[in-house]
Structures are given as structure tokens and as C-alpha cells.
């Protein structure tokens, strides 16, 4: 699967029915307003001064090396028997009070599908069955945040009734056509909904 850095999220690349898209931030490239390594000065292992270059930090004393990278997330578009999709109202910043899809950041060494199931247990108290991978979108985590690499699966609930928990203020079922982009949190979520409509129309 090939991702073009200059792609606009309004013109996604299709490969084997999976969407890969980049949010256009006005420059034609996806550029975070804050790099992951901004503000790094000292080695986290030995406290020596770091040598910094674009996207890389290296310690000349102990050999520690790290690279800036996008943070991966996994989220679910849970669909019920009527074709409605489950949205979560964010209870925390960024975009507190706006709608999002249940999901979150991967933990270290965690498989994306394990993350997906864990997040739905934590945020909605349900067990899910992931269906098809809808696509992969890149974005920025709020104002001044770093890059995120966001994976979305269609899914169905196989056990439990959705109840908001963790950092979710409310859960609600929506018809895909009734969701306004103005009420969605992150910029790429409208394209995620479009992918869902295309694959389930």
C-alpha cells in the first residue's frame, strides 16, 4: 500500500478497497505544528546533551537514538442492524464535546486489533467483532499536536450494551447521513464516514 505525502484527504488513494489518505493542512504536505522531538535537549538515559537533526535525536555519550514518528491509533465504526453507526462524544481535550469514533492510541507492542477491542471495552463496555479495514488516515492531534496515523475498522457489537466510560462523555447511534461535519472532532472524520457510506451503500 503506497501513501503519497502530497495527497489530499479530500482525494484519497484507493488500494484493494482500503482508503489511505493524508490531511491537507494547506501546504500540500502533512506537517505537524509541533514535532515529536521539539524541546528535546538531554538524553533520557544518561542526561548528556543530544545531537538533533531533522526527525532524529542521538546521544554521543551512550549511543541512544530515537526518531520522530506518527502515533498510531485504532478506532471502530460499530454498525447496528439498522445501519446506524456508534459515535462517542469526547469528554477530554482536544475537541472536548465533539463527536469521535470509539478508539485510541496503541500501547507499546499492542496489535491494532487488540487495541481496538481494548478501547471499546474501556470506552463503551462492549465486546466487538472487527469486520473490514475501512482505511488509514493521517492527521494532527489537536492544536499544536503531533502526527497521528489512524486506522479504522467497521465492526459489530457481539456482547454488551454501549455505556460511556473512561474519557467518553456520551455514546449515541446515528444514521450516517445525519452526522454534521461541524460536530466531528478531528478533520479527517468526515472522510471516514464517506468511506463507510461507499462500502455499505
Q: What is the pLDDT of residues 142-191, one digit of tens each?
A: 887 889 999 999 999 999 999 999 999 999 999 998 999 999 999 999 99
**How far apart (Å, rounded) are the C-alpha atoms in residues 176 and 134?**
15
**How far apart (Å, rounded) are the C-alpha atoms in residues 33 and 28?**
14
pTM: 0.82
Average pLDDT, stretch 30-41? 73
The residues pairing with 96 across neighbouring beta strands, listed in sequence order, are: none
CATH superfamily of 71-199: Nucleoside Triphosphate Pyrophosphohydrolase (3.90.79.10)
Is 3 or 124 the better-scoring residue by pLDDT?
124
Residue 10 has pLDDT above 60, yes or no: no
Q: What is the pLDDT of residues 111-124, one digit of tens each?
A: 999 999 999 999 99
CA distances from residue 191 to 27, 124, 181, 188 in whole angstroms, order as listed: 19, 23, 10, 6
Average pLDDT, the chain: 86
- pLDDT of amino acid 120: 98
- The boundaries of every CATH 3.90.79.10 domain in the chain are 71-199
Amino acid at each position: 500500500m503506497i501513501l503519497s505525502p502530497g495527497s489530499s484527504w479530500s482525494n484519497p488513494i484507493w488500494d484493494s478497497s482500503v482508503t489511505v489518505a493524508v490531511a491537507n493542512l494547506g501546504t500540500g504536505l502533512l506537517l505537524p505544528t509541533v514535532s515529536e522531538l521539539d524541546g528535546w535537549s538531554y538524553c533520557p538515559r544518561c542526561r548528556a546533551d543530544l545531537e538533533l537533526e531533522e526527525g532524529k535525536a542521538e546521544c554521543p555519550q551512550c549511543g541512544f537514538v530515537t526518531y520522530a514518528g506518527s502515533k498510531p491509533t485504532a478506532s471502530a465504526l460499530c454498525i447496528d442492524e439498522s445501519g446506524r453507526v456508534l459515535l462517542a462524544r469526547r469528554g477530554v481535550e482536544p475537541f472536548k464535546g465533539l463527536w469521535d469514533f470509539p478508539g485510541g492510541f496503541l500501547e507499546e507492542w499492542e496489535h491494532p486489533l487488540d487495541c481496538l477491542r481494548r478501547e471499546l471495552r474501556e470506552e463503551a463496555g462492549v465486546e466487538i467483532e472487527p469486520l473490514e479495514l475501512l482505511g488509514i488516515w493521517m492527521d494532527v492531534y489537536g492544536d499544536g499536536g503531533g502526527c497521528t496515523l489512524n486506522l479504522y475498522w467497521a465492526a459489530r457489537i457481539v456482547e454488551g450494551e454501549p455505556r460511556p466510560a473512561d474519557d467518553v462523555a456520551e455514546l449515541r447511534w446515528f444514521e450516517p447521513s445525519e452526522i454534521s461535519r461541524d460536530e466531528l472532532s478531528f478533520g479527517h472524520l468526515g472522510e471516514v464516514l464517506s468511506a463507510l457510506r461507499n462500502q455499505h451503500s
